[in-house]
Amino acid sequence: MVRRFFKYLTFEHVPVYLEKWSKTVILVVVGLTALFALQIPNLTFSTSVYDLVIEDLPETERYKAFKKVFGSDEIIRVVVRSENVFDPLVFRKLELLSETAAQVKGVRRVISLPQIKKAIDISGEWDLAEFARVLKPIDLFTGNIVSADHKATALTLVLANDADYLAVIDKVADMIADTPETLSLYQIGMPLVSKALEEYTRKDFFRLPPITFVLIAILLLFIFRNTAYLFLPLVCVSFSLIWTFGLMAGSGIPLSMLTMIVPVFLIAVGTAYCLHIVSAYQACRQDDQTAVVSVRLAFGEIAFPTVLAVATTVIGLGSLLLNHIPAIREFALFSCFGMFSLLIMVLTLFPAALVCMPMSRGNTCQPTGNGGIIDRFINFIIDLNLNRQKLVLPIIGIVVIFCIIGIFRLRVETNPVGYYKADTPVSRHFHDIYKDLSGSFPVNISMTGKGEDYFQDPVHIAEIAKLQKSVQTLPGVDKTIAYTDYMQMVNYASNQFKPESYALPEAGWEVRMLANKYTMMLGEDMFTRFMNPDYTSANILLLTHISSSQDFLDLRKRILAYTAEHFSKDYSWDVTGFGIVISASSHLLTSGQVKSLSFTMLVVFGIMFLLFLSGKVGLVAIVPNLFPIVINFGIMGWLGIELSMFTSLIASIAIGLAVDDTIHYLVRYNKEFRKDLDDKNALRETLRHIGRPITIPP
């Protein structure tokens, strides 16, 4: 009964009506495709790493809470290199750059050498040599704002919470372009990495699908030597892509970094489906029968497993709709719709076109022979299956064990900088800045004490410095900046810049006095960036050259472990920042992918069990679906390729292909076995009929 129900769902008898309605079917499909195509010009792009954040993640909530207290921690650093940044001509150019950057909408504050001079040189009478001498004892600026050899400096642009990052980047780029060539300038920061990722992703989107289409076209032409068999699969896949992108544009959902994988997924899976149809049609094509009869016979065999394969793949992809990341849900939604549109194409447009298009005659009922390379390969596989089991199974077992060991070596990792080649500007700039200055990716330690005015106590202020000293030694941390650094600087300035006065205050009244001077000298926003108004929470900013999600999470773990061991229980702690948020999101996403794959395996088992009423068949069906995933991830582990939020989606494509081949194989095997109940002959005939579409790579 279950099998009859599934057969009814396959529309097995639709080809009966194609003789009268084939042209109408083609016109309707083309018309609908044209309607979807009209929406595509409205398609937009949103390929930012910021879109990959899971909003309801605890790390995200804490990051939002942090920004409400201390403001945005997003920064863009403009690096300027010269023979001597304290040269009067160079310094004047730095002043102009600083003033221009301060006028950019979305920039909350510019921290630069000219701004520092304006803050501490009240009289404005110092020459630059004197200014350099005064700065020398201030550890806050060395390696942060200016390099030790005075050949590099950085303008740190602190962005507002609501800043349009792309607009700020473009304005800064214009500012850099207008700067004389005597200076070497570039900008870097997480917003720059995100923008570069967007640009490269968009280029790949317009480049890779056409290349894939060309390669598939060449392969199909080489295999079938028939333009119709080349044309129809590509048209069906193209139309399904148009429907999918039309729906995206019509719904106002932009293409993201993850939904850009959809066309590659549909091209791969769609071509595989079409290969099975072409193979079935060739097998049923006779000299003495009409095209309608051939199509009816072919789709009588192929429609049922095709619908079953689509249903299984859609259910597996549909499980991703439960994911917390909107981009993943969008990938699942449009992949499922693409599969649905592809099913419509192969069950309507494909058979209708086969009826209307003149096909070459010739008895191709026997799909394999002994002449072609593929046929010889299939015969070789048949021989391995029937006569070499004692050799093949141990080899496969060894390969699987080897790859399983590789899976345990696999690192869950998302590294936005690692996506770029070493010679790309964003990668070069990311690695260049921390050679002489400090890195461009911030991390924040929020340190909260008990009671109001907690950090007006010199003892508690000293504990901020204690934590800074320890954190400064951690891998990837280039510089720590906190309230204590600015208090020391204000104390230094208040005592005529005597080197011995560059120290923290030791009495409560000194703290209160210097806090007032802090605000007057540096501004309210520089105070609230590191201390909240009631002195209960302090922020320690870490400038790092960390870009690895695992390194971000390891840094957070180390800091929290150190604070738990060496500080009073009166404190509450958090380590936050966008790097922490995106790292936690990527790890949760990857684990979600594993759950999705597990769910897909259960779906495959369930459908096979209902179809054949055999748990054994269900388990057998899981094996070929797991095998490519184990091999892929195992090789990734041995080669040191990280499992990121992008590479983990490879499994979805592998599942889509494997499920299709598995279902076609089992359905055909069941049919052949029921003829004479000979399992060896059933295996032989199954591979001869569907070996070609399984073997040919889509």
pLDDT in tens, 155-190: 999 998 888 888 999 999 999 998 887 788 999 998
Cα–Cα distances in Å, from 641 out to 114, 227, 266, 632? 45, 39, 25, 10
% of the chain with per-residue pLDDT over 90: 27
Q: Where are the beta strands (DSSP E) in 461-616?
A: 477-481, 537-544, 572-576
Same fold, 73-194 and 432-480+499-576: yes
Contact predicate 520/461, CB 8 Å? no
Q: What is the mean pLDDT of residues 389-417?
A: 84
Q: Does domain 73-194 have CATH number 3.30.70?
A: yes
Q: Which two tokens stand for residue 299?
A: 């789709």
- Banded model confidence at residue 388, pLDDT cuts 50, 70, 90: confident
Identify the weakest region by mean pLDDT among 4-8, 76-80, 156-160, 396-400.
4-8
Q: What is the value of pTM for the model shown?
A: 0.77
Question: Domain residues of the chain, as ranges?
Answer: 2-49+226-408+585-695, 73-194, 432-480+499-576
Please tell me the predicted confidence (pLDDT) of residue 2. Answer: 47
Lowest average pLDDT, out of 54-68, 329-343, 404-418, 430-444, goes to 404-418
Question: Mean pLDDT over all residues of the chain?
Answer: 83
Q: What is the per-residue pLDDT across 76-89, written as a single tens digit (0 to 9) for each? A: 999 999 999 999 99
Three-class HEC string of 559-593: HHHHHHHHCCCCCEEEEECHHHHHHHHHHHHHHHH
- Above 60 in pLDDT, residue 16? no
Residue 369 has pLDDT above 70, yes or no: no
- Dist. CA 88–CA 126, nearest whole Å: 12
Q: 206-244: per-residue pLDDT in tens?
A: 887 888 788 878 877 777 677 777 788 889 999 999 999
CA distance 66 to 691: 59
CB 591 within 8 A of CB 59: no
What is the pLDDT at residue 243?
A: 95
Segment holding 75, helix H or strand E = strand 75-81
Residue-level pLDDT at 182: 79
Q: Is the pLDDT of residue 693 over 60?
A: yes
Nearest residue to 326 via CA among 255, 243, 264: 255
As a whole number of angstroms, the distance between CA 358 and CA 360 comes to: 7
pLDDT confidence bin for 125, thresholds 50/70/90: confident
Helix residue ranges per DSSP H, 71-144: 88-102, 113-120, 128-135
The per-residue pLDDT for range 298-347, each reduced to its tens digit, is 887 788 888 888 887 887 777 777 766 777 788 888 989 999 999 999 88
d(CA 107, CA 101): 7
In one letter, which amino acid is 618?
G
Q: For the residues 30-44, what does the mean pLDDT come to?
A: 92
pLDDT (tens digit per residue) in 623-633:
777 787 788 78
Residue 145, amino acid: I
**Which class in CATH covers the domain with range 432-480+499-576?**
alpha beta
**Separation CA 262–CA 624 (nearest Å):** 23
635-671 pLDDT per residue, tens: 888 888 777 766 766 666 666 667 777 777 877 887 7
Burial code (b: 16+ CB inside 10 Å, e: under 16) for 142-175 equals bbbbbbeebebbbbbbbbeeebebeebbebbeeb
pLDDT of residue 698: 52
Return the structure tokens found at 680: 């060896």
pLDDT range class, residue 35, cuts 50, 70, 90:
very high
